[in-house]
Structure 1
Amino acid sequence: MAYEILVSDSKVIDLESGRSAFSDIEATLRTTEAREPNELIEEAAGVDAMIVDASTQVTTSVLRSLDSLQVVGRSGIGVDNVDLETAQELGIPVVNVPDYCLDEVSTHALGMLLSCARKLPQLDAAVKRGEWDWSPARPICRLQGQTVGIVGFGKIGRNFAQKLRGLEVDVLVYDPYLSARDLSGFDVTRASFDQLLADSDFVSIHTPLTEETRYLFAAEAFETMPDHAVLINTARGPVVDEEALVAALKAGDLGGVGLDVRDPEPPENDPIADFENVVLSPHAGFYSEDSRRELTRSVSEDVARVLQGEEPRNPVDATDGWE
């Protein structure tokens, strides 16, 4: 039997690796730039499977319109762009790659934290202006002995915590889906959300985007954080209320910010870019050549399993917490 697979992810998916993963079945792969539901319905008519990135909106209308669709592959970890309840109702498995880019994103978050801690953007800009003076970066405090708060202790959050071990910092964790027993084996302390915000010098976000986490970081959260605190977000843009973030930066209520993800993406007329104590990157935390190859192989092989009537290795459970 010949299968048709639509790939709405030309940025991340390595198509040659994808074709190799489908070598055991007769499959045709084609790509599309469609991301919005109406365009996707038109492009995906008659396909047996879709492999999508985070920007492709697999809504209820998409799922109900595609009678031939047998499986949705999410090329990544987060599935906030897929209507999981409708997929489950229709019996359409959704698979993802739960071990994707764990090292890359946690390293990116650490890089942003260190860059903000040592005020490298300010120093870099000054040197490039021809200034040879360290004092405009004052004050810089020793990182050793400070407190890092991790919000969301799934696989990336845990990987990030392991990378912090050599820095001799204290680590607080907030994750309402985990018990103290779940944290055993990690040198971390469980905390409430407000306690973590109040006691942390650095806060790194590692939650998925859900109704529970949307705008989790808004004006009240920024008021609770110390004025010198640094916020890092490599998770999902809408976890942070950017209007409230701009207000906090203008008021001097934050010591620094590192953002790899935004709301929306790309940002338009971006006031956050005007602040010297902000480090920005274009949703690049996932990227390495190694992660692209592993991603393609994993999601493609799982899609092929479903098409052949086998159980997938990484089915998405709509009831999962912040994993």
Structure 2
Amino acid sequence: MAKIKVVVTDWEFEDLRFEESVLNAFQEIELVGANCRTEDEVIEACRDADGILNQYAPLSKRVIESLRNCKVIARYGVGVNTIDLEAASEKGICVANVPDYCMDEVSDHALALLLSWTRKVVVANQHVKAGHWDFKITRPIHRLRDKTLGLVGFGKIPQSLAEKVKPLGMHVIAADPFFPAEEARRKGVTLVSLGTLAEQSDIISVHAPLTPSTKGMLGKEQFARMKKSPLIINTARGPVIDEAALIEALNNGQVSGAALDVTEVEPIGENHPFLKMENVILTPHVAWYSEEAEAEMRVKVASGVADVLIHKEYPKYLVNHDVKNIARLGNGVGSGRY
């Protein structure tokens, strides 16, 4: 009997031991590691795959239409912007992610960026290491108590960040058209429009997923409404912010600074203006990472594939719910539906 083929399109990990620990428990599964970067490479590696684990390799409509046997695609992480969800649903392919593996890590990192920038930690560190000792290099620093933090998106990660800043005495508002206002109030957060958030926030932290409707959602219009020259923090996805508009806002004072874990293009280009801007802090898309979070993510991604192919269930973290009643659960080896 033919094996159930599961392909890992690409990965940045040292090995696939966590994926193997889950999937090699099923003798009928063959786990195949690929090293795909382009659509053509993904098509070649995954054409006959029953399941796919995906990190950054593109799973476009063209790629998905080439898949003959695929029943499930599981993405490492929260975002699924590498995958054409509509094409997957039309093909009857379940798409899964891991929305809960790094809530503490990302909210901790956003808080670390907030504190590092407002307390001028990076500036002070560079100053002392250059042989100086003068606190005035950090001027001005303002206390955080009674300042307003605006959260763009109010999912699990920004909810965690909201709890973490409360002991600092900060007020928290959020812009999220899909979150119930009454539930936000119970959490001590006021829901507002994106425009109101831009006007009222001293610090803005971006947590919206990247979708066609959120791409560039923080742009010229929003920066023009920022009366307090806020700090902008982004630990979500770079393209949620119009980068050219942000650079202009940083230069003209509409925004006082930026602390970014993500950029529009990654890795950041060697001539990017951010690299020379003293009011910008950059980290290399590391907010998600801890040893524990990485292990949890990889186990859950592999388990999502096993849910569909072995247990004949929808994955716990199904993203495209419109695929229900269309998807083919189970291995279906050799059925040739596509």
Q: One-letter code of the match for 1:37?
A: E
Q: Structure 2: where are the runs of 5+ without partners?
A: 323-338
Question: Distance in 1 between the 2:228 and 2:313 partners?
Answer: 54
Whether 1:130 aligns to 2:131 is yes
Secondary structure at the counterpart of residue 78 of structure 1: coil
Report matched runs for 1:1-323 at 5 Å. Answer: 2-12=3-13, 15-26=16-27, 27-53=29-55, 55-268=56-269, 269-308=271-310, 309-317=312-320
Q: Deviations over 1:114-155 (max 9, x none)?
A: 111111121111112111111122111001110000010011
Question: Distance in 2 between the 1:172 and 1:184 partners?
Answer: 10
Q: One-letter code of the match for 1:294?
A: E
Asked if the contact 1:113–1:232 (Cα under 8 Å) also holds between the matched residues in 2, the reply is yes
* Alpha-carbon distance, 1:41 to partner: 0.6
* Alpha-carbon distance, 1:32 to partner: 2.3
The percent identity for this pair of structures is 40
Q: One-letter code of the match for 2:296?
A: E
Question: Distance in 2 between the 1:107 and 1:32 partners?
Answer: 33
Asked if the contact 2:202–2:228 (Cα under 8 Å) also holds between the matched residues in 1, the reply is no
Asked if the contact 1:13–1:292 (Cα under 8 Å) also holds between the matched residues in 2, the reply is no
Question: Distance in 2 between the 1:217 and 1:61 partners?
Answer: 30
Give me the TM-score of the superposition, normalised by structure 1.
0.94
Question: Distance in 2 between the 1:14 and 1:206 partners?
Answer: 30
Change (3 A) 1:223 1:242: same
Question: Distance in 1 between the 2:140 and 2:9 partners?
Answer: 46
* Alpha-carbon distance, 1:178 to partner: 1.5
Secondary structure at the counterpart of residue 113 of structure 1: helix
* Alpha-carbon distance, 1:110 to partner: 0.6
Root-mean-square deviation (Å)? 1.6
Asked if the contact 1:121–1:277 (Cα under 8 Å) also holds between the matched residues in 2, the reply is no
* Alpha-carbon distance, 1:14 to partner: 5.8
Q: One-letter code of the match for 1:316?
A: V
Secondary structure at the counterpart of residue 186 of structure 2: coil
Secondary structure at the counterpart of residue 28 of structure 1: strand
Question: Distance in 2 between the 1:106 and 1:176 partners?
Answer: 21
Question: Distance in 2 between the 1:124 and 1:79 partners?
Answer: 37
Question: Distance in 1 between the 2:114 and 2:194 partners?
Answer: 20
* Alpha-carbon distance, 1:12 to partner: 4.9
Q: One-letter code of the match for 1:35?
A: R
Change (3 A) 1:318 1:165: same
* Alpha-carbon distance, 1:227 to partner: 4.9
Asked if the contact 1:13–1:75 (Cα under 8 Å) also holds between the matched residues in 2, the reply is no
Asked if the contact 2:94–2:314 (Cα under 8 Å) also holds between the matched residues in 1, the reply is no
Give me the TM-score of the superposition, normalised by structure 2.
0.90
Question: Distance in 2 between the 1:250 and 1:18 partners?
Answer: 46
- Between 119-128 and 287-296, report the one with greater CA deviation: 119-128
Question: Distance in 2 between the 1:281 and 1:226 partners?
Answer: 27
* Alpha-carbon distance, 1:254 to partner: 1.7
Question: Distance in 2 between the 1:172 and 1:305 partners?
Answer: 38
Secondary structure at the counterpart of residue 57 of structure 2: coil
Question: Distance in 2 between the 1:314 and 1:122 partners?
Answer: 42
Asked if the contact 1:2–1:25 (Cα under 8 Å) also holds between the matched residues in 2, the reply is no
